[in-house]
Structures are given as structure tokens and as C-alpha cells.
Amino acid sequence: MGTETKSNSYTGQISTSGGNPKVMKDSLSLVRQTVNQQSQSNQNQYQNDTDNDNHLNSNSKSYSNATKTNQPETNHTEKNISPSTNESKKIIVPFVPIFVEEADVIQGAKELLKVIRPNWDLAHVEFKSFTDGITNKLVGCFHKPTTKLKRSDEKDADDKEQQEPYVPPIKVEDHPAVQEEDKDEDEEEFTANGETDGLPLQYSDNVVLVRVYGNKTDLLIDRKAETQNFLLLHTYGLAPSLYATFKNGLVYEYVPGTTLNTESVLCPEIWPLVARRMAEMHRKVRKNVGDIVGGAASASADAVADAAKPLPMIWTKTQSFLDLVPERFTDAEKHKRVKGTFLPICRLREEFNSLYKYLVALGSPIVFSHNDLLLGNVVYTKCMKTVNFIDYEYADYNFQAFDIGNHFAEMCGVDEVDYTRYPKREFQLQWLRVYLEEYLQRTNIQSEEVDLLYVQVNQFALASHIFWTVWSLLQAEHSTIDFDYVGYAFLRYNEYLARKEEFLSLTAASQKNNK
């Protein structure tokens, strides 16, 4: 919900316009030197890294297969991220001292490429502004190197292998709802280096994404934690490569595919992939021991088990958001719209606190969650039969049932919200069974287990509505993006009120037997 892909359909306009970003030029040469020095080191270490990634399952291959040759994964600061093995991986991400203006994202992207892709000829780079979301700005940078011309006196046999291969323009997928009418249904949706031929898809080194944070979003999001989450998930094969950070954004790997919409999310060949992918994240991902319990990295498993569980994101984030909602909005018209329902904000806090007390008693496991799995944050790659999640601004430990319930609520859309699309019980039970098979790593899932999770998920969906209601109120005060945040706050809160009695009255068979 809180990402630039809120309505990200990977569509947009090619552009080469833009103004001049704010650049600390004295530092750029040092950053460029660091990137160049570390690129060769990363090439040498890549094989060793891939040898250590045996914990990834087949649905993770789309990230682990990515071509690494020209991807600098270096920085001024080092992050030790520990996957399920005991061995830590040292990941260094470059920081580029550039501030990119929201109105001049294209020009800012050019300045970034001069540093992190110094070998790219900007004359052969196309910039595609993806559909604006309601938090951040996103631009794709597509490098299209041309054929190296052979001198007439060169020998064909000897020099053929020495020529730089032609890389045709990379096709950027459109949202399924806006595909060209004459498109062949069997046409490959993405080509890397121009060919697929049924082979595993390789991500292209000739594409990067530049994301520019929205105004005042640092009030909503811990950007340092977001970067750490990005790196953490990458070590598990659950996130693309992070190429660099800059003063107000990230540069990262392009994920080929189409983002989901309200129709495709229900397709029988897609939704099981989403269920398994989420279960994989919930089952596998763990932060460093020190990050979780504040102890040493060598702490024993028993010590970890006995340590206090991390506070769920839904509690900490909602409370911090509530603290930031103003009692009087700067815009008089907005204040007039919200004051009757949402102000004073203590009323909404009391509503949330009461709901949270009830939800905690449900006993939903605390797992590392995405927490923002709207349809635009799920990318489906048809030729690989995989889905990947993108954007980790809100990723953190949270209740398992919240992550699922939030995703179900997001199936109703964002730009055109229709809560009659909320998934019916039969669909949810099928989805949850597939999820539990992956999460519990067994096929003999009992109906009682599915039924219990069904109750928890729908009741936690209520918390999702309150969370994004408060988020919307904050955005209404601070965001410069043209979106009716106040209207969206009312949509979410009205749905919460409409579903509250229905969802809280749900009871699983196992719960009835215990009464």
C-alpha cells in the first residue's frame, strides 16, 4: 500500500527530459572508483555465493539465476546478513551522494547511471516512467548497446567470437488490462538478450530501476531498515539485487513480468504461486540473532527460543502513525472532511487498541512478513511460472494472519476499490490449504487447520483496514502526489466498520470445541 507500485503496471512513457538534480560532485569520483574496484571482486565471489544458496527452492530461481557480471554489490558500509545457514554473507551497497528531485527523476537517473554504470552510453539508454503510485516515483533505465561494426579486413572466423553481441530492445511488459489488442497470446512476455527458447530466464544487466522516495515518507518508513530488509531477502532468493542507494531513493534490479490485477490474482495458475511464495518467506526468513533479541550472533538456539519475541509491526507502526496524525490538517478542506470521523485521533487509537487486544489472543504465529502485498507488488513471470514480491518498505516481523489478510483485502483494488471482490470463503480455503502445505512442509493438512487460519486471516484483515486508514491520513497531510488520500481513508475505514461484526463473529470448529 505504501509503495510506488500501488498502481504500478510497468507502463509509462519513454522520456529523456528532466532538470538537474542536486549532486555532491566532489564525492562522485570516489564512489565511482569504489564501484569499479568492487565489481571485479564480486565477479570472483559470485560462484562461491551461488554455491552457498542451496536453501532456495525452485520458485526462488528467478533471482538466483540473475546475471551478476556487471552488478556492483558494494558500499561504504557492510551488512552481515545471515540466511538459514550459520555462515554470514558480507554485502556492501554503494551510496551515491545525489538528491533527485521528484519533478526531475529522469535527469536524476542519468546522474546515477554515470556513477553505477559508467560504461553505459546514455545516448543508448531509454527511460521509462512507470505509472505513478501514491507514495514514490519509479523509472526504468533500459540500456540498448548497438552492434559493434567489424572492419572489412577482419577475418570472419577469427573475429566472430570477439564481436560484442547485439542486444535488441528489451520489451517492457504492460499491465494485462492494457495489452495491445493484436498481441499473440503465445508471445513471450519478456526477452533477455533477445532470446528465450524455453531456457531459464536471465535478468538483464542492461536494465535498472530507480525509485525516488515521496515527500516526507521518512515519517512513515525506516529507510535504513528497508535497505537491510532488501539485502536480507536477497540472501534468501526472495528479492532482486540492490545496486545502490542515494539520498532519497534506491537503485535495484528489474524484475521481468506483469504485476497482478483484480482478475489475474484469481487465476488458478497464479494464485497458488502467490500462496507458496508468501509461505516460503514466512517459513524461511530470519534476521540476525542480534537484530532479533539484542544478543551476540553466537547465541545458542535455546537462547533464541527463550528470548522475547519481536514486537509485531502492526502494533509498533500503527502506534507511531497515530502519534504523527495532526489534530488540525494544514489544508482546511481536508481538515473539514476528516474532523467528524477521525478527529480527535484518540478515538481511532482506542478502536485499534481494542481490536489489537482481541487479535493477540488468537495466537497467530509471528513471522517475517511483507506487510504490503497489494497486487502491484506481485510480479508474475509467465515463461518461468513464478511470482516474485517487490518493495519491502514495510517488511518486518508481524502476525502471519495479518500478511495474508492484508493480501486478501488488496484483491479488491486500489485505484478502483470494489469490496465485493473480497475473496469468498471457498477460494480462501483453497488458497490457505496451499499456503499451509508450503509453510508446514507437509501435504496432510487437516480441515481444522485451514478453518482456524481462515478465521484468523479474516479477523486480522480488520487490522489491515485500520492500519491503511491511519497511513492515508498521514499521507493526506504530507504527500505531494495527486491522490485522494482522505477519500481512501474513508474507503478503508468504512469497510472496517462494515465487516467488523461479521468477521469478529467467526469461530473455528477447534475453538468451539474448546469452549
Dist. CA 99–CA 221, nearest whole Å: 18
Give the strand order in the sheet containing 386-389.
Answer: 258-259, 378-381, 386-389
pLDDT digits (tens, 9 = 90+) for 18-38: 334 444 334 455 455 555 554
**From the centroid of its chain, how far is CA 437?**
24
Determine if residue 287 is left, alpha or beta; phi over 0 gives left, psi from -120 to 50 gives alpha, anything else beta: beta
313-324 helix and 447-478 helix, angle to the nearest 10 degrees: 20
Q: What are the φ/ψ torsions at residue 281 (nearest 5 degrees)?
A: -60, -50
**What residues form DSSP beta bridges with 439?**
none
Secondary structure of 178-207 as H, E, C letters: HCCCCCCCCCCCCCECCECCCCCCCCCCCE
Contact 295, 289 (CB under 8 A): yes
Dist. CA 319–CA 348, nearest whole Å: 11
Please give the model's pTM, rounded to 2 decimal places.
0.75
Per-residue DSSP letter, 369 = E
pLDDT digits (tens, 9 = 90+) for 393-450: 999 999 999 999 999 999 999 889 999 999 999 999 999 999 999 999 999 999 999 9
**CA-closest candidate to residue 230, choices 394, 19, 71, 348:** 394
DSSP, residue by residue, 10-51 = S-EEEE------EE-HHHHHHHHHHHHHHHHHHHHHHHHHHH
Q: What are the φ/ψ torsions at residue 251 (nearest 5 degrees)?
A: -125, 125
Q: Which three cell numbers stand for residue 163?
A: 564481436
Q: Which three cell numbers stand for residue 103?
A: 519533478
Dist. CA 250–CA 243, nearest whole Å: 8
Q: What are the φ/ψ torsions at residue 23 (nearest 5 degrees)?
A: -130, 135
Per-residue DSSP letter, 151 = P
Contact 389, 373 (CB under 8 A): yes
Q: Which residue has the cell 502445505?
A: 437
pLDDT of the chain along its 515 residues, tens only? 644 334 333 433 333 333 344 443 344 554 555 555 544 444 444 444 444 444 434 444 445 444 333 333 334 444 555 554 434 456 789 999 999 998 889 999 999 999 999 999 999 999 998 764 567 889 999 998 765 555 555 545 444 444 443 333 333 333 333 233 333 333 333 323 333 333 334 466 899 999 999 888 888 889 999 999 999 999 999 999 999 999 999 999 998 899 999 999 999 999 999 999 999 999 999 986 444 332 333 445 554 454 557 899 999 999 999 999 999 999 999 999 999 999 999 999 999 999 999 999 999 999 999 999 999 999 999 999 999 999 999 999 999 999 999 999 999 998 899 999 999 999 999 999 999 999 999 999 999 999 999 999 999 999 999 999 999 999 999 998 889 999 999 999 999 999 999 999 999 877 766 65
**CA-closest candidate to residue 71, choices 96, 41, 103, 29:** 41
Please state, in angstroms and as integers, the Cα–Cα distance from residue 502 to each residue in 35, 389, 461, 495, 506, following that order: 56, 31, 12, 11, 7
Taking the CA of residue 265 as centre, how many other CA atoms within 13 Å lie in the half-sphere pointing to its CB?
23
Q: Which residue has the cell 533471482?
A: 63
**CA-closest candidate to residue 5, choices 377, 290, 266:** 377
Percentage of the chain lying above the pLDDT 70 cut: 65
Give Cβ neighbours of residue 14 (< 8 Å, ≥ 6 apart): 126, 127, 128
Q: Which three cell numbers stand for residue 513?
A: 470445541
Contact 466, 493 (CB under 8 A): yes
Q: Which three cell numbers stand for residue 116?
A: 553505477
Per-residue DSSP letter, 128 = E
Domains of the chain in start order, with CATH, are 96-145+201-255 (3.30.200.20), 257-288+310-513 (3.90.1200.10)
DSSP, residue by residue, 430-459 = HHHHHHHHHHHT-S---HHHHHHHHHHHHH
CA 371, 374, 380, 385 dihedral sign is positive
Give Cβ neighbours of residue 28 (< 8 Å, ≥ 6 apart): 96, 97, 98, 114, 115
pLDDT digits (tens, 9 = 90+) for 460-479: 999 999 999 999 999 999 99
